[in-house]
Chain A
Amino acid sequence: MKRDKVIGAILLVVALSAISGLALITVFIFREGVPIIFRVGAKQFFLSTDWEPSLGHFGILSMMVGSFMVTIGAAVIGVVFSLGLAIVLTQFSPPGLSAALKPVIELLAGIPSVVYGFVGVVTLVPLIRLSLGGPGLSVLAASIVLGVMILPTITSIAIDALQAVPRSYLEGSIALGATRWQTVTMVLLRAARSGLVAAVILGMGRAIGETMAVIMVAGNALDVPRSVLAPVRTLTSNIALEMGYASGDHRQALFATGVTLFVIITILNTAALAVSRQRTGRRRAK
């Protein structure tokens, strides 16, 4: 009994220190970042595209647009492939194949992002430059690389969501004469909808927070991209590119960039949580 208590206390301390670490980080970046937003003016900070720290111009609009475009692009690519994978692995593939494929997909999540970036820079960027024009380093390249990177995240959560659909639904649908494909589109995807939405949102959260791979393939130009072939700078790459040098207002502005990112990701994660709660709530009601 006594031993239980000791171990319990130790674990509690560990858990609390992890959480207090998070709390400290939050307090720290807000304390560093928020004052500059007020000093520059929120409107100026969020709605200006002029970022020239050495002249005291801090406008992050182009990077917000950049992050947004890259994330949406990644989500589109990621969702198409991940949902396809998840459906095939849960419904259409022989059990042996899904048993072999699932670990492979999970392995994708373990590859360091810099490797994705490197592969992107060496293969994807020249391909885009030669076949589609532009510098190659572009929104498109970043979206594709990120799309592949978030694939395992979305796939594994989507698989869980699909497997959580009660078997009786599917059997009922088949019994009513629906084909396999009709069952998938009309019953399975609908029943698992909230779980799938949560998967996509979490994937987007990962995409918007990714840094290294994006720096390598996005080109990091400061202008608002006018096409998917134009280079782009995201919020994360702006921080990572300039953090090593920044001091004073510039440093604070980068923290403010971090605050913006923090808020966006918090909103995304909360949304994902809310959507998946809704799912379990509904099921319990039935």
Chain B
Amino acid sequence: MMHEVRAKELGDGEYPLSVADVRDHLVLEEGRELGRALGPARRAQAPAFARESKEELGGAVGTPDAGEAPLEDAAVEVPRDHPVEDAAPEAVTALEEILPDPLDGLEQGLEQRVERGLGRPAGPVDGGIHERETWQPSCRGRDLDASTCGRMSMVGGIPLPFMANVRSVFIHTLAVTLGLVVMCAGCTRTSGRSVSLLGSTSIQPFAEMLAERYAKDFPGQFVEVQGGGSTAGLQAAENGLADIGMCSRSLTAKEALLFIPILIARDGLAIVVNRDNSVAKLSIEQLRAVFAGRVTNWSEVGGKSGPIRPITREEGSGTRESFVRLVMDKERISGRALTQESNGAVKELVKGDPAAIGYMSLGLVGKDLKAVAVEGTQPTALNVLAGRYNLVRPLLFVTKGAVNPAAQKFIDFVLSPVGQSLLVTEGLVRAR
């Protein structure tokens, strides 16, 4: 009885009535035709099929010619009026039109090895081509062995690692140049199911935390979070690489026309020094002088004598742009300043170097660093919320026009009391 139930599942779940799927199946149908035509090849696949079919249909398959069994039995299980069955003959012709040469070539010259290679995909490729929600049930339904299932998810999951590339702009361009169309096909396919966020490394850890909670509260929803920087986030939102861009600075006038900003929280910009540093407060004026390279000794700003090593972020970072806007006025950051490409790297450096001074998201300061008071105000969430602390920047989710429902749902979650209080416990300041 178990077997019957499972077989039904397979029939129901497996064929969404989309054109793409019909086509995919026809390819397989064609593969089977080929398998039938080429005797030796089919015998070669028999063991694989035999195992599969035994598990799938239990005692139903007792035939000596095991290679034939699963295909035909599957056909019996699937309702007869199924689109695939109807469309099959045309598709075979269509396929022959598309691929006349390879087929000819196959029949003429290829050896058994190659034939097996062509016949074999009938199993795994079948699953791989389907959308995620389809091939998981089909995995279970057929009781394929674990390795086959693994292979399926790899085929189905190709796009994920590609999208995960943080600084993908360069690589992406090259890839497109090289004509890796597969990749793009993959991008569109994943975005339907999971929400992707890309951008500011200042927001990234908070977004990851939100995503984790979101996945727990709403099972089946996936949120992917990638870094790359605020400007990269805007670009990703513009060209559709991500559903939501993350941006940790105010939008420029030009950008404001292009994007819809959603304020998810506000963040203080903390000025951090090593814990051994005796300096506890700085004025904006002093900060500017330090980062412009006009003041180079700690004794000039009330500390022990010793060189100051300012640490800045790379051009394009949201944190840097906020800092420049809030502190530097029209001055430029000194060329002597060390440049690090993430909040984490700044943190690591300040932690180890008593002479260092850097700036970073208030929420990320932690216990290893000392955040100095700016203009006499301690950088605390309370002071930021009350508007007493001067160095404050917005943390934005940025979208280009309307977003898909899944992304909207995540945004709503972030703005909900639950999401907001999560952000507050992490040291940020609520949006409203």
CA distance A222 to B334 in the complex (A): 8
Contact residues on A (Cβ < 8 Å of other chain), bracket: 35 or more
Q: Contacts A25-B177, A243-B167, A244-B229: A223 and B316 contacting too (C-beta < 8 A)?
A: no
Is B166 interfacial (CB 8 A cutoff)?
A: yes
Q: Which residue of B lies closest to A27 (CB)?
A: B177
Which residue of A216, A240, A247 contacts B231 across the interface (Cβ within 8 Å)? Answer: A247
CA distance A216 to B349 in the complex (A): 11
Q: How far is the CB of B275 from chain A (nearest CB, A)?
A: 15
Chain B residues with Cβ below 8 Å from A250 are 315
Which residue of A55, A135, A219, A244 contacts B169 across the interface (Cβ within 8 Å)? Answer: A244
Q: Contacts A53-B315, A220-B338: A244 and B231 contacting too (C-beta < 8 A)?
A: yes
Q: Which residue of B lies closest to A246 (CB)?
A: B316
Contact residues on B (Cβ < 8 Å of other chain), bracket: 35 or more
Q: How far is the CB of A147 from chain B (nearest CB, A)?
A: 22
Most buried by A among B235, B335, B356: B335
Q: How far is the CB of B352 from chain A (nearest CB, A)?
A: 6
Q: How far is the CB of A239 from chain B (nearest CB, A)?
A: 8
Q: How far is the CB of B242 from chain A (nearest CB, A)?
A: 13
A245 touches B170 (CB 8 A): no
B174 touches A25 (CB 8 A): yes
Most buried by A among B109, B167, B315: B315
Chain B residues with Cβ below 8 Å from A25 are 174, 177
A220 touches B177 (CB 8 A): no
Is B332 interfacial (CB 8 A cutoff)?
A: yes
Is A176 interfacial (CB 8 A cutoff)?
A: no
Q: How far is the CB of B188 from chain A (nearest CB, A)?
A: 23
Chain B residues with Cβ below 8 Å from A49 are 335
CA distance A125 to B178 in the complex (A): 40
B314 touches A243 (CB 8 A): no
A245 touches B229 (CB 8 A): yes
Is B339 interfacial (CB 8 A cutoff)?
A: yes
B174 touches A28 (CB 8 A): yes
CA distance A193 to B352 in the complex (A): 45
A126 touches B352 (CB 8 A): yes
For window 1-32 of A, CB contacts with B under 8 Å fall at 2-3, 6, 21, 24-25, 28
Q: How far is the CB of B167 from chain A (nearest CB, A)?
A: 5
CA distance A24 to B178 in the complex (A): 8
Chain B residues with Cβ below 8 Å from A171 are none
Chain B residues with Cβ below 8 Å from A28 are 173-174, 177
For window 346-386 of B, CB contacts with A under 8 Å fall at 348-349, 352-353, 355-356
CA distance A22 to B232 in the complex (A): 26
Q: How far is the CB of A224 from chain B (nearest CB, A)?
A: 9
B338 touches A240 (CB 8 A): no
Is B309 interfacial (CB 8 A cutoff)?
A: yes
A244 touches B167 (CB 8 A): yes
Is B138 interfacial (CB 8 A cutoff)?
A: no
Is A137 interfacial (CB 8 A cutoff)?
A: yes
Q: How far is the CB of B248 from chain A (nearest CB, A)?
A: 13
B353 touches A245 (CB 8 A): no
Q: Contacts A244-B231, A245-B231: A121 and B341 contacting too (C-beta < 8 A)?
A: no
Which residue of A6, A121, A233 contacts B348 across the interface (Cβ within 8 Å)? Answer: A121
Which residue of A125, A135, A215, A247 contacts B341 across the interface (Cβ within 8 Å)? Answer: A215
B109 touches A243 (CB 8 A): no
A21 touches B339 (CB 8 A): no
Chain B residues with Cβ below 8 Å from A216 are 345
A244 touches B232 (CB 8 A): yes
B316 touches A220 (CB 8 A): no
CA distance A137 to B353 in the complex (A): 11
B336 touches A221 (CB 8 A): yes
CA distance A219 to B335 in the complex (A): 11
Which residue of B109, B178, B332 contacts A2 across the interface (Cβ within 8 Å)? Answer: B109
Is B387 interfacial (CB 8 A cutoff)?
A: no
A135 touches B338 (CB 8 A): yes
Chain B residues with Cβ below 8 Å from A279 are none
Q: Contacts A3-B109, A25-B177, A220-B339: A129 and B353 contacting too (C-beta < 8 A)?
A: yes
Chain B residues with Cβ below 8 Å from A2 are 109
Which residue of A6, A24, A221 contacts B335 across the interface (Cβ within 8 Å)? Answer: A221
B339 touches A6 (CB 8 A): no
Which residue of B105, B317, B336 contacts A6 across the interface (Cβ within 8 Å)? Answer: B105
Q: Contacts A28-B177, A244-B231, A244-B232: A221 and B338 contacting too (C-beta < 8 A)?
A: yes
Q: Which residue of B lies closest to A216 (CB)?
A: B345
A242 touches B170 (CB 8 A): no
CA distance A24 to B335 in the complex (A): 35
Chain B 218-234 per-residue mask, 1 if CB under 8 angstroms from chain A, else 0: 00000000001111100
Is A168 interfacial (CB 8 A cutoff)?
A: no
Is A136 interfacial (CB 8 A cutoff)?
A: yes
Is A52 interfacial (CB 8 A cutoff)?
A: yes
Q: Which residue of B lies closest to A258 (CB)?
A: B170
Q: How far is the CB of B200 from chain A (nearest CB, A)?
A: 11
Q: Which residue of A lies closest to B111 (CB)?
A: A3
Q: Which residue of A lies closest to B170 (CB)?
A: A243
Q: Which residue of A lies closest to B173 (CB)?
A: A28
A244 touches B316 (CB 8 A): yes
Is A152 interfacial (CB 8 A cutoff)?
A: no
A242 touches B314 (CB 8 A): yes
Is B340 interfacial (CB 8 A cutoff)?
A: yes
Is B423 interfacial (CB 8 A cutoff)?
A: no
Nearest 7 interchain pairs by C-beta: A245-B316, A222-B335, A220-B339, A245-B231, A223-B335, A244-B232, A241-B314
Pairs across A and B, CB under 8 Å, 13 listed: A6-B109, A49-B335, A53-B315, A137-B338, A216-B345, A221-B339, A222-B336, A222-B339, A240-B167, A242-B316, A243-B170, A244-B232, A245-B315
Which residues of B are interface residues toward A (Cβ below 8 A)? 105, 109, 111, 166-167, 169-170, 173-174, 177-178, 228-232, 235, 309, 314-317, 332, 334-341, 345, 348-349, 352-353, 355-356
